Structure 1
Amino acid sequence: MWESFRTLFKNYLRLEKSLSDHSIQAYIRDVEKLEQYLQANGKEKLRPQDVTLEDLQKCIHWIFELGMSATSQARIISGIKAFYKFLMLEDMIKDDPSQLLETPRTTRKLPDVLTFDEIEQMIAAIDLIEMDAKGHEKVSLEGHRNKAILETMYSCGMRVSEVTSLQISQVYLDVSFVKVIGKGDKERIIPLGSAARKEIIHYLERVRPQFPVKYGDEDTLFLNRRGRALSRVMIFLIIKELAEKAGITKNVSPHTFRHSFATHLVEGGADLRVVQEMLGHESITTTEIYTHIDREFLRDTLRQFHPRF
């Protein structure tokens, strides 16, 4: 019974909202949580249009008792609200039971940010030379690829999924710009810094030609040793390993480079609208988190240098 509604919702998210498969799966999981609650409490015969606000409130309480954080609860509520908004748009229900469903308060945790020195330490930790089977030194193809990846991430503030899907045809080295396909297949143009441009040119000319390119990935910029596009998990592991080698104890992930890119721009006085455009944020509210980080930076500076602070 719910499956047909989920299928229609999935098609709506893909065709009307142009969401990625990853985002669509997240929304569907949220709806499935509601189904699981109904099944666990003897209400499996309820159709989506029969669910009441009280049912939804009890579902959220059930989720809370499972030990889920306020952030996870808020995520599920958001998905359920989107599902019922879709049902209203399609005239499948007359009243939206999720309209008065309250989202638990979540504290916005500021992400860890790397200093410029820490980013340089991580890049310096990349092994550009490795030993072959006979103990002779040789150029590390993966090391030079990883250096190009990190320089690109810090230069452009791209999401890890945008890095893994970046195509050679989207990199305009002659004018130092990259075209990024972000969430909802929205395009944006980002300037490419000189350090990133240099490493990409070296990678394209000296490194990538030595990877065995597989069918379907001829235009993919960053490849693994088998000639396929890198996975997000692989980039996560590369960055974790480099942070450890550089002696950085912060919680570092690919997204840390995106946060650091934005924070350093704001600290340097960049206009928030420009930062929003380069990050691909739909709302300026999302970008405003970096003004909070900027205030922390100012406070730390005062603590360090002001005699009366």
Structure 2
Amino acid sequence: MLWPSYIKGFKSYLKLERSLAVHSVDAYLGDIEKLTQYYQSLDEAPQLSDIHVTDIKSFISWLNELGMQASTQARVISGLKAFFTYLMLEEVITTDPTALIEAPKLSRKLPDTLNIYEINALIAAIDASKPEGMRNKAIIEVLYGCGLRVSELTDLKISNIFPQIEFIKVIGKGNKERLIPIGSEALKLMEIYINEVRVHANIKKGHEDFIFLNRFGAKLSRISIFNLIKSLAAGTGLKKTISPHTLRHSFATHLIEGGADLRAVQEMLGHSSITTTEIYTHIDRDYLREVITQFHPRS
């Protein structure tokens, strides 16, 4: 390994001054190890003060030649920037060679969505004659009808349902509360489950207010919801890889495609920034293409 004393000092800096967890420290050190591997491949061992921006660019080109993904390159560049920042603080170098280096642009993957026919197929695949059938139908309707995160669904409480005004209260990220309208179908199935199925359960102490319970009378776990969605997708022959979050994505996408105000969707999803919500305006490429074809005179 090159520059061992400086790397040792960098490790102490990360642990003591930046208070990073062990796995984060190891990740940073792994990034520096890649730089040393690069110089070993060139049979060079330069002084740290001799490394310039052109050397860092050559190193990034080397990462490209290795076939390293953009996301991994961004991670390595972040580690290098932290290392050279430390060297500047210690006055080992006077110029930071990574100062003008930008991480590669990462493409933002558009989330998968289901159309209404696929959602109906998921619900139709549930056997309502089974003890958990009505509960599972209510789960799918609430996930899709309210756009909840899976943790928000498992934490949903009876005391937070307001059927008279058709709203539910949800505790989201950062313990933030928000009110979300609930559709009549989701509300109906949830009330049937509570009043006709759940009422017969032997409920575990401390779980009396949670809506969705497992067969032991305790609130459902997140993994139970994931397994339910996976099982339903397999049962309907759905080829898409979906999760509970797919229903949340579908909720937002269908609202925006229908003309809903972006701020209203942001509020219902519980996004702190509207930038996060804006991704849903880019999803339906086929729809946009259809609009251009139908309405633009030059198409």
**One fold, TM greater than 0.5?**
yes
Measure, in 1, the Cα distance between the counterparts of 2:212 and 2:79: 33
Q: In the alignment, is the contact (CA less than 8 A) between 2:162 and 2:168 conserved in 1?
A: yes
Deviation at 1:230, TM superposition (A): 1.7
Q: Does 1:297 align with 2:287?
A: yes
Measure, in 1, the Cα distance between the counterparts of 2:74 and 2:212: 35
Task: Find the residue that maps to 1:252 and give its secondary structure.
Answer: coil
Q: Which residue pairs with 1:120 in the alignment?
A: 120
Q: In the alignment, is the contact (CA less than 8 A) between 2:152 and 2:172 conserved in 1?
A: yes
Q: Does 1:235 align with 2:225?
A: yes
Measure, in 1, the Cα distance between the counterparts of 2:100 and 2:217: 51
Q: Which residue pairs with 1:34 in the alignment?
A: 28
Q: Which residue pairs with 2:273 in the alignment?
A: 283
Measure, in 1, the Cα distance between the counterparts of 2:136 and 2:68: 36
Measure, in 2, the Cα distance between the counterparts of 1:197 and 1:76: 49
Deviation at 1:218, TM superposition (A): 2.0
1:124 alignment partner AA: A
Between stretches 202-211 and 284-293, larger displacement belongs to 202-211
Q: Which residue pairs with 2:203 in the alignment?
A: 213
Instruction: After superposition, give the CA deviation of every residue in 1:219-278 in whole Å (9 maximum; x if it has no partner).
Output: 222111122222222211111111222222122211110111001100110011111111
Q: In the alignment, is the contact (CA less than 8 A) between 2:169 and 2:177 conserved in 1?
A: yes
Identical pairs, percent: 53
Q: Which residue pairs with 1:154 in the alignment?
A: 144
TM-score (norm 1): 0.69
Q: Does 1:226 align with 2:216?
A: yes
1:103 alignment partner AA: A
User: Within 5 Å, which residues of 2 pair with 1:128-143?
Assistant: 128-129=128-129, 140-143=130-133
Where does the alignment leave 5 or more consecutive residues of structure 1 unmatched? 11-27, 43-52, 85-91, 130-139
Task: Find the residue that maps to 1:288 and give its secondary structure.
Answer: helix
Q: In the alignment, is the contact (CA less than 8 A) between 1:30 and 1:79 conserved in 2?
A: no
Task: Find the residue that maps to 1:278 and give its secondary structure.
Answer: helix
Q: In the alignment, is the contact (CA less than 8 A) between 2:144 and 2:250 conserved in 1?
A: yes
The structure with more radius of gyration: 2
2:241 alignment partner AA: N
TM-score (norm 2): 0.71
Q: In the alignment, is the contact (CA less than 8 A) between 2:15 and 2:25 conserved in 1?
A: no
Among 161, 167, 179, the alignment partner of 1:177 is 167
Among 228, 247, 262, the alignment partner of 1:257 is 247
Deviation at 1:284, TM superposition (A): 1.1
Q: Does 1:109 align with 2:99?
A: no
Instruction: After superposition, give the CA deviation of every residue in 1:74-105 in whole Å (9 maximum; x if it has no partner).
Output: 57988999x99xxxxxxx99xxx998673332
Q: In the alignment, is the contact (CA less than 8 A) between 1:158 and 1:279 conserved in 2?
A: yes
- Alignment length, in residue pairs? 265
Measure, in 2, the Cα distance between the counterparts of 1:66 and 1:207: 58
Q: Which residue pairs with 1:15 in the alignment?
A: none
Deviation at 1:154, TM superposition (A): 0.7
Measure, in 1, the Cα distance between the counterparts of 2:279 and 2:182: 24
Among 191, 194, 218, the alignment partner of 1:201 is 191
What is the RMSD of the two structures over their aligned residues, measured on CA atoms?
4.1
